[in-house]
Amino acid sequence: MSSKARSILNATVVLLALTPAVPVGSARAAECTRDDALGTARVMEVDPATYPRVGLKSFPQTLPLHDREVVLTFDDGPTPGVTDKVLTALGAECVRATFFMVGRNAADHPDMVRKIARLGHTIGYHTWDHPHLNKMPTAQAEANINRGIEAVGMALRGIDSTVPATPFFRFPYFESTPELLDHLEKRGIAVFGADFWASDWVKMTPEEELRLLTGRLEAARKGIILLHDPQMRTAQMLPAFLRYLHEHNYRIVHIVPAGVKTVSDRSR
């Protein structure tokens, strides 16, 4: 076995160990203590070979979601104190999400990285320090991406490797280049855009954010949603948004890499 193949195998084994296994048919009982929780409706395996780039705000293709299905994604963390509130809100409703982490934050808060993985959420990558990659030489941009992967990997597994445990990446500001997109596709890393977002980087109240987000949701009816876990307004808004999803019959889809799906689908 080559050293590259061995690194990929080790990364997959560790990821499987970090993802709680749930017997088929018992996902709700094992994950949730509340019968009235929103819950995670199903788990979707995402193969980068089939979906190398998804998110209609950036690309012509997105994930094959059904009407009223949404994928929750969070960028820029982890940030202790705020990300914790996001995790509490998700946990209260038995919902799993995907966190695209900035490597520098992961290096500063490795316990948070492991906590997110331990709770069953998917971890993706968001560079080392959130630069404008499209304004950098390609080699420098690739180095920044790899440094972010290494930092998250070290926090998560204690392994210094540029092979991601989860082949999911999101460009800061959605600022990609053809060269970087080609580079990531050749590495087997799926690039995630979004179908819509809460604009939570704009100063507003949690109530204003909720109105904005639900309005966009009703227009789109489904999709990959971008939020930011370091934003306190989002952490404060999230419990109400999850209740809104439940009350309006939306369903949560949890994305995982192809081949590591461990939680059985369940219908509500």
End-to-end CA separation in angstroms for the chain: 44
The continuous run of DSSP H or E covering 36 comes out as none
Task: Output the six-digit token pair for 263.
Answer: 């939680």
Tokens representing 119 are 């709770």
228 assigned to active site? yes
Strand partners, 100: 75, 124
Token match 């994950």: residue? 31
The DSSP string of 44-69 is EEE-TTT-SEE-TTTSS----PPTTE
**Which of 109-116's residues contact partners 24+ apart within 8 Å by CB, and which partners?**
109/78, 109/79, 109/80, 109/155, 110/154, 110/155, 110/156, 112/77, 112/78, 112/79, 112/80, 112/83, 112/84, 113/78, 113/152, 113/155, 113/156, 114/18, 114/155, 114/156, 115/87, 116/78, 116/83, 116/87
> Out of 228, 229, 246, 254, which one is annotated catalytic?
228
What are the helix and strand counts (H, E) for the chain?
Answer: 9, 10
Residue 123, amino acid: I
Catalytic, out of 75, 76, 195, 229: 75
Strands, E assignment, 102-222: 122-125, 168-169, 190-192, 196-197
Q: 178 is written with which tokens?
A: 């053809």
- Write out the catalytic residue numbers: 75, 228
